[in-house]
Structure 1
């Protein structure tokens, strides 16, 4: 508990998490407002469409936040003090991942319900009720995806240790790499089915295409297993990062 308290103080006493949090919520809610305002009156906005900003762009900012939580310590060498206080290293890094993950979970819930609520206010005649399990996954599930994405980003930050490198890798991967994989002849589509962010999109969106929303995932997994798959990848990356952190100099 002491380690969690220490990591919480570290996180909330710097400016970058607060700015990233505001940008995450602003992008998520802002895109919902844009879509609600731009959708023709004769068309109906869908629940998944209201989450477009969060699932496509908010998640990238959350990963930047998580990576900075680690790499900033390496940049200013405060990580040495942390490792001197916790020689085994892993408990301190796990505590950091837990704190960042919980903050990202809260941000995801605020972004998800904020986007949905604003869209419902702007378009009261559209069918935006949370009537099915998939509707609830669209909105409430965004927090879970943010949390596991943050854990993954913490692992990347531990492995790379440099802010610019970690952020560049995360942004390029989330915004471009998975889509470009489909261009590989013959095997591209098969590989894309198992790419982590494509898979977790199955949990958020399901299989049905949504008007004005994110494209459906082509993952063969069910939504529940898609979330479990993404969570497993995040945890595996974190375990690998912990092993690497133990073996090298701070």
Structure 2
């Protein structure tokens, strides 16, 4: 508990978490308001469309999580941390727990805020949370944010430099996975198993009978796993990456 409290204090004494929370909420909720405000008979508002901006929020959360680690390396405060807590594994796990929990809270507020503002703007739309798909499409965003933050902490621990870690996260999640589909013959098969595509399947997979058109809401995933197995796969990927990063941190100088 002491380690968690220390990591919480260190996180919130910097400006980046506050700005990240504000940016994530403004972007995701703002997109929901835009979708609701521009909906009509040809582009009706539905539950998935309320979460149109959730991928943009993921990006902000990953940047925040990476900075939580790389900033310590940049200013060498990580050395003081490891001197005070010789068990580097415990220190890094505490940091990961605090940052990922904050990411999940941001995801929950952003998702339900997006749903709420869309409900206010388009009260006539059917946005009820009355099915497993509906709850996954909204509440499930928090879980995706949680494990995305774990991945970002792991990458930050590996790379240690803010610009490098953030670039790697953004290029991979926003560009590389999509470009993989362009590989002849095997691209689509590989893409089905890439982590962020699989994570998206947890939120968008197995929709209710009134399934949205593909142009509304988060893009549908091509992953072939069931939604909950998709979350397990994404969580497993995040945990393996975290374990490898902790092993690396224990073998390298601070």
Following the alignment from structure 1 to structure 2, what is the Cα–Cα distance between the partners of residues 16 and 216?
31
Q: Which residue of 2 aligns with 1:79?
A: 78
**Is the 8 Å Cα contact of residues 48 and 212 (structure 2) preserved in structure 1?**
yes
Compute the displacement of 1:44 (Å).
2.3
Q: Can you list the C-alpha shifts for 1:110-156, whole angstroms capped at 9, x where unaligned?
A: 00000000001100111111121011001001111101100110000
Q: Which residue of 1 aligns with 2:26?
A: 26
Compute the displacement of 1:210 (Å).
2.4
**Is residue 242 of structure 2 the alignment partner of residue 238 of structure 1?**
yes
Following the alignment from structure 1 to structure 2, what is the Cα–Cα distance between the partners of residues 57 and 29?
11
**Is the 8 Å Cα contact of residues 32 and 117 (structure 2) preserved in structure 1?**
yes
Matching of residues 60-139 of structure 1 within 5 Å: 60-139=59-138
- Which 5+ residue runs of structure 1 have no aligned equivalent? none
CA RMSD of aligned residues (A): 1.0
Normalising by structure 1, report the TM-score.
Answer: 0.97
Normalising by structure 2, report the TM-score.
Answer: 0.96
**Is the 8 Å Cα contact of residues 74 and 162 (structure 1) preserved in structure 2?**
yes
Q: Which residue of 2 aligns with 1:210?
A: 212
Aligned residues: 249
**Is the 8 Å Cα contact of residues 44 and 127 (structure 1) preserved in structure 2?**
no
- Which 5+ residue runs of structure 2 have no aligned equivalent? none
The 4+ residue runs of structure 1 with deviation greater than 3 A are none
Following the alignment from structure 2 to structure 1, what is the Cα–Cα distance between the partners of residues 14 and 43?
44
Following the alignment from structure 2 to structure 1, what is the Cα–Cα distance between the partners of residues 69 and 196?
22
Following the alignment from structure 2 to structure 1, what is the Cα–Cα distance between the partners of residues 158 and 253?
12
Compute the displacement of 1:174 (Å).
1.3
SS of 1:52's equivalent? coil
**Is the 8 Å Cα contact of residues 180 and 187 (structure 2) preserved in structure 1?**
yes
